[in-house]
Structure 1
Amino acid sequence: MDSNARSSQACSSLLDWSQYGLELKALQLPTVEAMMDAVDPLSCSLILIGMGNPDFGMELCERIRRISRVPIILLGGRGDFPLMRRALALQVSDCILHPVQARDLHDSLKALTNRLGLTAGPAADDGASGEHGVPAAEPIIETVKQYVEQELHHNITLKKISALLHFNCAYLGQKFKCHVHMSFNEYLLQQRMEKAKALLENTDMRIYEIARRVGYTEIDWFYKNFKAYTGASANEYRKQLIDSA
């Protein structure tokens, strides 16, 4: 089931669905009611919903969840935090963000194999499940990353994010490290420092303004972390950029 014709056509050609024990039925209908009339969720093993129109896609997802717990994969969304939070609340199995790649879709289907009782499908070249053999990134991980990106200028803690998403903090921390291969705090520091570097390179903002932009209220703490991360103070880093220009 799809709210976007191009998503359906692309999805049909990405994989040989028969090798996963699935027969893909792609639909593009103008209303959610028409979608629900055309397909009975109770008879489906898996539902894919294109997110070309996020409001349409989420309404369709909500309607399905009223009557069925069938696994749902959302395809082609942009991953904004409010939408991802709604998707998590509806217990979607995965959200594959735009652009949808065959490898990501294969990994998602492989992760669902045991639950669906399907064949695993063909193995992807070069390790489809990732360099370290973990499953494709789960919706919760993408949501956490999106939250960090949007709220980088504020105080961010995993405890706060866990409360917003109704997750156990310790469990979310373990899951995040499993998929990202670093702790949440390490990831947060990386994102703040990389953003600070970009601002030093591309703007004339003062150091204290940059520190605030990346979430530091204490300038000394920003200076300490920046030097530990880059090997140079913020002023030295900017001077090096000027000298090399």
Structure 2
Amino acid sequence: MHNILLIDSNEQSIDKIKGKIDWAYYGFIIQDAVMTIADGLSLINDKSYDLYLLNLTHLDIFGFKFCEQIRKQTANPILLIGGEKDFNLVRQAMNLRVNDYLPNPVANEELVDSIMKIKESIEEKKAKVLTYNTNQSQPKTASNIIDIVKDYVEQSIHENITLKEISDTLHYNASYLGQKFKCQEKMTFIQYLLEQRMEKAKYLLRFTDMKIYQIAYQVGYTDLDWFYKKFKSHTGVSASVYRETSSEEVVNQQHSI
């Protein structure tokens, strides 16, 4: 059963959400429900939840502030319900890597569809964790633990990856693992992750017809503007210019054969 933290500043609304669908039937349980951001912050500092469910109907902008705090702690799924059908709110939710945003009125079918997709992603990640743990029968030396981290990055490059999440998965202290990673790879984990994202983006720009926004999502960016900025900073040219010049190089190579 996957546990949920529900944040909703209205007590009647909390009861309504609890009874809106048969959560247990779909594999979830609302383990805790809080009415204030302060109580929510206290809980996320002490516990980990499989899903964070926020009702924006009464939280308004404070709901997004709370999402920011969640993202500092974990990459686990966030589902926003309620609120208005506003493009700026949707964009803000995407920037915070929220898994889904269901504005009012929220139909039961929509909610079920959303949580089932989230459930699938949760179970895929847990299966991946189980695979890592069962496959590492030999002692985890400093060298092979870094190889595991690098393999995790390769397999999950399209997701929101944090060293803390990987450390928790491997039962390591995040600071210790970060130091070991830098010592072996001669760069920080963040630098390595950025390099891997950019190298895959370059490959996809050069050898596929995927749209640039699709490539951005494929390498873990939901904010297209942020992807453009990071790509140009890393390569010195924009993604569109890189694709254009790379395509010309490929054509020239083919003609020279």
TM range (shorter): 0.3 to 0.5
Question: Which has the larger strand fraction?
Answer: 2
Question: Which has the larger helix fraction?
Answer: 2
TM-score by length of 2: 0.45
